[in-house]
Amino acid sequence: MEIMGQMQSWKNQDRYLHWDDIRRRPAPTGFTHKDWWLGIKLARQGQYRQISLKDKKGGPFQLGQPDSLAELLHKIDCGLGAVLGLPDAIGHPSVRDRYVINTLIQESITSSQLEGAATTRAVAKEMLRSGRPPRDKGERMILNNYLTMQHIRDLRDDDLTPALVFELHRRITTDTLDKPDAAGRLRQASEDVRVEDGIEGTVFHRPPLAEEPPGRLEVMCDFANGKTPNFFIHPVVRAITLHFWLAYDHPFVDGNGRTARALFYWAMLRQKYDLFEFISISDILLRAPVRYAMAFLHTETDDNDLTYFILHQAQVIRDAVDALRDYLARKKKELRETAEALHGLKRLNHRQQALISHALREPHTVYLISAHQQSHGVTHQTARDDLFDLVGLGLLSANKEGRRYNFRAPADLGGRISNLGPKAPSAGRSD
C-alpha cells in the first residue's frame, strides 16, 4: 500500500530509465530499489498498448505513452514547422535538389559507417560528387546507400510490400556481401545470423527463426501502411517502430541496419514529413553508437517495451531537426554574404553563384564538370557551360589533364569579383 501511495509521484518524475539505470541511483527514502521499480512498472503498465510485432516466443511488443515522449513529438513537429521558412534560393527546385543531394550524401556515408564502412567522409564525398566507380567494399556500401536513398524519394506514395523490402535490400547490399546471392533474399536456416560484439563475441540478439520472416514481413508491411493497429499512432512513432521492427526480425544475412534506416526514411516521407529530405539521422547516431545499441537492448530486456527505443530515436530526430534549423540559419547567412560579395554578378545563375561562394570559402578546391553536374542534377553540357562561362569571366582557370578539365579559382578571386562589372556571362563554349 505504501508503494501504491507513491506511484503517482514516481510516475510524474519518471525519466523512463531502465532497471539497469534505476538500480545505480539512490532509491526514495524508506524504499528499496525493488520497491521503487515495482511502483514504476505498475504505473507504466497502465499505459501500455500492444502492436502486432511479436517476439520469438509470441509475446507482443508494446508502446508506452510517457509525458516525455509527448513533449519530444511536439518539439519535433514544431521544429519542422519552424524550418519551413527555407531561404528563398533554396526554394528554387534545382537549388533545393542540391541541398537534398548534400543530405543524401551525408546520410549514405554515416549509415554505412555505422555498419563498418571505413572510408573517410572526404574520400566518399569525392567519389559521389565525381561519379567515379567505388574502389572497395566500404565505398560500394556508401554508393549503394546513396542510390537507394535517391530511389526512396520516388517511392513515398507507394505502399510497402515484401517485394519492395527485397528490392531496397538488394539495392543497398549489391556487391557488398560475402555471399553475393544473399542480396534481396531472406536468410536461410543454415545461415546463423546474430548481433554480437565484434571484439569479444558477446551475442546481443538472436533474431526469430529463418522460417518465420516471410509471414512476419507481411505483418510488418500492414503496420507500415497504417492497416494496424486499431488505434492512432503518431507518424513519427510509426516510422521509429518500423525501424526497430526490421532490425529486430533481422530477415537478411547482412545489411539489416541500413535497410531499417532506409525504411524509416520511406515512412517519414510517406507520412508527409517532406523536410526529412534534408535530415540525416545516421549522422547523430554515429556520434553515440553505444546508446543506439542500448536502446535496442533495453526494449528486449524489459517486457518488450518499445518506449525505450522510441524515446531514444525521438531524441535523435529532435537533435537532427535542430541541426537542420542551424544549417538553414547558416545557409541564410551564407546566401546573404554571397549576394553581397557577388553584387556585380547578379546575372550569374544560382549554380555558378554557389560554386563561386564555395571557392571564396575553400580557395584551393579543384572543380570538375562531372562533380558540378552531380551536385546540381544537370546535364553534362549545362555543367560544362557553367564552368567555362566562369573561365570567360576570369573567375576560374581551366587546365586539361588527359581528357578531363580541372578548374581552379585564382588567388585574387575576391578582388576580381569586386572589379567585375554587372555584365552577363557568355553563352557558353562549344569545344
- How large is the average pLDDT for residues 180-199? 87
* Contact (Cβ atoms closer than 8 angstroms) between residue 341 and residue 295: no
* Range of weakest confidence among 166-170, 207-211, 263-267: 207-211
Q: pLDDT at position 332, please?
A: 72
* Range of weakest confidence among 138-142, 297-301, 346-350: 346-350
DSSP state of 389: H
Q: pLDDT at position 198, please?
A: 61
In this prediction, residue 201 has a pLDDT band, given cuts at 50, 70 and 90, of low
* Contact (Cβ atoms closer than 8 angstroms) between residue 80 and residue 275: yes
DSSP letters spanning 80-111: HHHTT---HHHHSHHHHHHHHHHHHHHHHHHH
> What are the residue ranges spanned by the domains of the chain?
2-46, 60-327, 344-419
Distance, in Å, from the CA atom of 274 to the CA atom of 234, rounded to the nearest integer, reads 16
Residue 239 has pLDDT above 50, yes or no: yes
Q: pLDDT at position 96, please?
A: 58
In this prediction, residue 236 has a pLDDT band, given cuts at 50, 70 and 90, of very high
Predicted TM-score of the model (pTM) = 0.80
Neighbours of 88 (CB within 10 A): 10
Cell numbers standing for residue 37? 521499480
Residue 276 has pLDDT above 90, yes or no: no
- How large is the average pLDDT for residues 238-248? 97
Q: What is the gyration radius of the CA atoms in the chain, in angstroms?
A: 25
Angle at the Cα of 218 (from 55 to 297), degrees rounded to 5?
30
Beta strands in 328-411 (DSSP E): 366-367, 397-401, 404-408
Interacting residues of 187 by C-beta distance below 8 A, sequence separation 6+ = 193, 210, 213, 250, 251, 252, 253
Distance, in Å, from the CA atom of 66 to the CA atom of 128, rounded to the nearest integer, reads 42
124 against 373, higher pLDDT: 373
388 against 343, higher pLDDT: 388
* Range of weakest confidence among 112-121, 169-178, 340-349: 340-349
84 vs 89, 169, 339, CA distance in Å? 13, 32, 22
* Among 166, 151, 257, 272, CA closest to 218: 166
The topology (CATH level 3) of 60-327 is Fic-like fold (1.10.3290)
| Class (C level, CATH) for 344-419 | mainly alpha
Q: Quote the mean pLDDT of the chain.
A: 87
